[in-house]
Amino acid sequence: MDFDELSKWNDEMVEKYHSEGTLFESANPLLRYIEKTRAKTIVKLANVSERDSVIDVGCGEGYMLSLLPKAKKIVGLDISKVALNRAKKFLQDRKEIELVLGDAQGLRFEDNSFDVAICSETLEHVPNPRAVIKELHRILKQNGNLVVSIPDEARIKQIMRIIKFFKLERFLHAARKHETYEWHLQEADMTFLKSISSEDFSIGVVKRIPTIIGYRYVVSMNPL
């Protein structure tokens, strides 16, 4: 898909799967708590200071951006116009945050221009995740910090089978009623992340969210 096709497709996915809000806004208090815990873990590992230039690649509706402290520069990038319009409304009191329409696979920023990059639940949604990693490596400073969040797809499917077996479908979020999920173009897990990033980044801290069942990973990474 070219940029326009990918942008249109993501708009359709946002309207289809986030019609009831994002996981951060879920009516299910457990899901809402888990996702907010994940977001806070990302912000903690990002360790943003007021001197930093920060980018959130795949910022969606802007929840992660809303948690970031003030910094020298904060950019949120997404390929979905629908998501960015929602982010603009959600972040209307954060005038210092710049929202940009763009493709994570080809970032229009100069080399070595950011101290911190966040890429949350994005790599599994793109046709070429390796290209995203290479671009993140290019725009990060040598001593920069990348924080990635990905699902553990196999664990999610296992949890869904258990939930359905015990007829507890009410615990499934509207966006994920079936094991197959058209918005995910990649089968993400730690093996996937290592395979696309090992040439460019070393892996630091790895957190499972939630701690016990761990169907999300939050990972800090540093440029090689």
Q: 3-class DSSP state for residue 75?
A: strand
Tens digits of residue pLDDT in 100-145: 999 999 999 999 999 999 999 999 999 999 999 999 999 999 999 9
Q: Does residue 192 carry a pLDDT above 70? A: yes
Confidence label for 21 from pLDDT (cuts 50, 70 and 90): confident
The DSSP code for 23 is: G
Closest CA to 156 of 189, 195, 196: 189
- Pairing status of strand 216-223 against strand 140-151: antiparallel
Task: Please state, in angstroms and rounded to a whole number, the distance separating the CA atoms of residues 153 and 184.
Answer: 9
The alpha carbon of 202 is separated from its chain's Cα centroid by a whole number of angstroms, namely: 19
pLDDT beyond 60 at 33: yes
